[in-house]
A and B are shown apart, each in its own frame.
Chain A
Amino acid sequence: MSQQFKAANPEEIVLHMLDMMSLVFHRPSGLTHIVADPIPAILEVMQQEVSTPAQIAEALENNFDLEEGVDVENVVLARLDEMNALGLVERISE
């Protein structure tokens, strides 16, 4: 059973790149999150589609140079769990 996620409405977040880190201002909570790769990339490839970690991993591999031998899907799932806790993505129940 594959989990599905949807990114927060783009109007709810302001993404600001700094250097190796980026900032995400989350309008509903008023909180500022400091995030590292691949979180900005995940938000970019998810857009507004409901996606599984496997679909996001594939999109990342197609769009970015990723390190060889990394279990991208598992890394994506771990980040999605964290992003879900912050309100940056929403887990869609099946």
Chain B
Amino acid sequence: MGQAYITNLRVGPATFRIASDWQKPIAQLNSLYENYPKPDSEFADFTVRLESQSVWRKYFRPTVHISGDFWLPDAAPLPLSQGLLAAEMAMNLQMALGWRRHLLLHASTVEKDGKALLMTGLSGSGKSTLSAMLGEKGWRFMGDEFALICPQTGLAYSFPRLISLKNEAITTMERIMPEDRFGPLLEDTPKGRIRHLVPSLESLEASNVPAKPAMLIFPRFGYDKAVREIGKSEIFVRLTQASTNYVALGEAGFRALTSFVDNVPARAIDYQSGDEAEILIDQLWAELA
């Protein structure tokens, strides 16, 4: 059964075909992805479908069901007003479950002088906000969700999807960014308030340019300022937990991750504000990268 509204998007190396029963989420995607490089062909890596439960529910209290090449059986439907979020979640899910060309690390990434800084941590650690902030302060934003590590070269590739700002981070970024870089404010989502931010044009235009991983940070927001060294075995374990496809890649994943752990200096940092984190990161970058 075909959907009425379709768009094809490209984020970094991945292409998506998004099909929807409703026009609105597609229009929002087309607007927010306007400056992204276009897919080279109509054949997409992944298909995502935003579907109604029934023809009746397409109009009456409509809720969006996500489906596609890869999906989770217990994914709850979202109200149509959050259709954009449903599309973004579904695209992430395709990458997390289906991408095999790179080792996927759940990490945000920014680049400077051809070298990449990766930040990984639990939800709420601030990695997404930090990458968005640094992306406006002299770094190239490469992604706030997935770092793609090439198993052959060890280089990090960009996945600059829309930056998903949550709760307080929305206000922080609204203070420094022009209004036309933001998507609609989505209230009462499963993760609270969400507002998407379009990465800078420079970041989108360079989205095919890889960078050599030069530093890994485990940020933690809301604690007194601190920097800690971490042993390689702890880094390895944390990164296997942060990877969605380490097991699926088999020995290629093992070799890519051990090489990463051996070659990329890492620190854990605690911080109370974005400014404090930026100072810490600049100091560590000068020292280690």
Contact = CB atoms under 8 A, between A and B. Distances in A.
Interface of A: 14, 16, 18-21, 23, 25, 27, 30, 32, 34
A30 B233 contact: no
B232 A19 contact: yes
Contacts of A18: 231-233, 236, 258, 261
A23 B236 contact: yes
Nearest to A21: B233
A18 B237 CA distance: 11
Contact of B254 (A14, A19, A20, A21): A14
B241 to A, nearest CB: 12
A23 to B, nearest CB: 7
A77 B263 CA distance: 36
A30 B247 contact: yes
Given A16-B258, A18-B236, A30 B250 contact: yes
Contacts of A16: 254, 258
B276 interface: no
A14 B236 contact: no
- The 5 A-B pairs of least Cβ separation, nearest first, read A21-B233, A18-B232, A25-B254, A18-B233, A19-B232
28 contacts: A14-B251, A14-B254, A14-B255, A16-B258, A18-B231, A18-B232, A18-B236, A18-B258, A18-B261, A19-B231, A19-B232, A19-B233, A20-B231, A20-B233, A21-B233, A23-B236, A23-B254, A23-B258, A25-B251, A25-B254, A27-B251, A30-B247, A30-B250, A30-B251, A32-B240, A32-B254, A34-B236, A34-B237
A40 B211 CA distance: 34
A16 B256 CA distance: 12
A24 to B, nearest CB: 10
Contacts of B237: 34
A16 B261 CA distance: 11
Q: How large is the interface on B (under 10, 10 to 19, 20 to 34, 35 or more residues)?
A: 10 to 19
A21 B232 CA distance: 9
A23 B231 CA distance: 14
Given A18-B258, A32-B240, 7 more contacts: A20-B231, A21-B233, A23-B236, A23-B254, A27-B251, A30-B250, A34-B236
Contacts of B240: 32
Contacts of B254: 14, 16, 23, 25, 32
B253 to A, nearest CB: 9
A20 B230 CA distance: 12
Contacts of A30: 247, 250-251
Interface string B240-277: 10000001001100110010010000000000000000
Nearest to A25: B254
A32 B251 CA distance: 9
A37 to B, nearest CB: 12
A32 B247 CA distance: 9
B289 to A, nearest CB: 21
A32 to B, nearest CB: 6
Nearest to A31: B247
Nearest to B237: A34
Nearest to A22: B233
Interface in B47-97: none
A32 B243 CA distance: 14
A25 B233 CA distance: 14
A7 B236 CA distance: 25
A11 B231 CA distance: 28
A21 B261 CA distance: 13
Contacts of B232: 18-19
